[in-house]
Amino acid sequence: MLLKIYLKEIKDCFRDRRTLLLTVLLPVIMMTGLTFFYEKMISDGEGESYKLAVNESFEPELAGIFTSYKNIELVHSANPAKTLQDGKVQAALILDPNFSSNIENGDKATVTIIGDSFSQKSSNLKNIVQNVLGVYEKSIFSERMKAKGTAPNLVEPITIEQKEISDQNPNANLIAMLIPLILAIAIGVGSGPAASDLFAGEKEKKTMEALLMTPVKRSTLLFSKWLTIATVGSVTGIITLLVVALEINLLTENLKKAVSFGNNVVVIIALAVLVSIIYAMFTASLLMLTSIIGKTVKESQSYSTPVMMLAMFPTMILSSIGINELSFQHFAVPILNLFSLLKELVFGIIDYEHILITITSNLVSMILLFIVGRILFLKDKWVMN
């Protein structure tokens, strides 16, 4: 009987075009948009062309320091700042009127770089110009020291070397936040409509009374409906993982370089699918409660919105935590443990103790939520409209 009810509910869910749209198409569109957004965000500007406004008196000798940057075009202007304001260039470089003579005489020369920090291209160009001028400054300093017979290493006695504790690409941390966030939102968006229809929708359409008159235990009805919501969420999660994996592998460069699983690709993918299924089951338990409490579909959706917003908090919590700083509590708290475990998997770390803690905590939470849902579902006050 349980299997028959479950198959009927699944068939009804995927027959509904709205549910099918929210389960498959909308998550795919969301994933694609977010993937390309993050790819653009971590791009270092390679392949971009820039225009830099300079004074009309900008000397060819100074222009030579930019010759290695073929993607930067120098635009001579009487008013570089105005040219930048008009949007004709991405940044402006203004030199002192006596810049060259000050350099030759060993005096201090002033350089002003004007840009727009709200523009990605302008920020990239400002960084490039600062790096170029930094190298030029060091060369001038070295020449002045040699002219005075002083070795440059006497002025700079310490050489600082910075090394990372991990050899992973720095952008891997961004993917470790991106994938769990996308996954959590997609599962919530995909299973939300099904949860609202299966309980609040039945009450709103006045079909719940007829359903309860059948010789089927309420616990069986409850479990079959919960299983349906969990299945829809799991399908959404798996589709999401596949879409993100394919897009990162085939359509991006920077994100692709940040991911390297080595020989553990199959194990990591299998664990990621398992985590998404567990999270879909946990989300189904929460959405089941909001739908039982809601008298109408609209009211149920109002209650379920905060559930989907819960995925934002782990992103903020884990954004400043290193992979080696994750501890027991990060894997014991539901929702947070999804982000923590997927962060480890993205970095290629497989810790079976953390996996066991995550699964156990979610199972305990699901059992408690299901017990609460069963208590509510057994009372006519909550199942009759």
- What's residue 45's pLDDT? 56
- What's residue 297's pLDDT? 86
33-62 CB burial, b ≥16 within 10 A, e <16: ebbeebbeebbeeeeeebbbbbbeebeeeb
| pLDDT (mean) for 349-367 | 92
pLDDT bin (cut points 50, 70, 90) of residue 357 is very high
**Rounded to 5 degrees, what are φ and ψ at 70?**
-70, -20
- What's residue 214's pLDDT? 79
Of 335, 328, 355, which is closest to residue 344 (Cα–Cα)? 355
Residues 276, 182: contact at Cβ < 8 Å? no
State in Å, rounded, how far the first CA of the chain is from the last one.
25
Residues 166, 323: contact at Cβ < 8 Å? yes
Question: Does the structure show a pLDDT above 80 at 303?
Answer: yes
- What's residue 287's pLDDT? 92
Query: Which two tokens mark 271?
Result: 């664990």
Taking the whole predicted model, whether its pTM rises above 0.85 is answered as: no
| pLDDT (mean) for 72-83 | 90
Which helix (H) or strand (E) is 99 found in, with range? helix 99-104
| pLDDT (mean) for 236-262 | 78
| pLDDT (mean) for 332-355 | 88
Most confident range, picked from 129-138, 177-186, 345-354, 355-364: 355-364
Q: Mean pLDDT for the chain?
A: 83
Question: Does the structure show a pLDDT above 70 at 43?
Answer: no
**Rounded to 5 degrees, what are φ and ψ at 92?**
-130, 140
pLDDT bin (cut points 50, 70, 90) of residue 261 is low
| pLDDT (mean) for 298-304 | 86
Percent above pLDDT 70 for the chain = 91
Q: Give CA–CA dist 58/100, Å, rounded.
A: 10
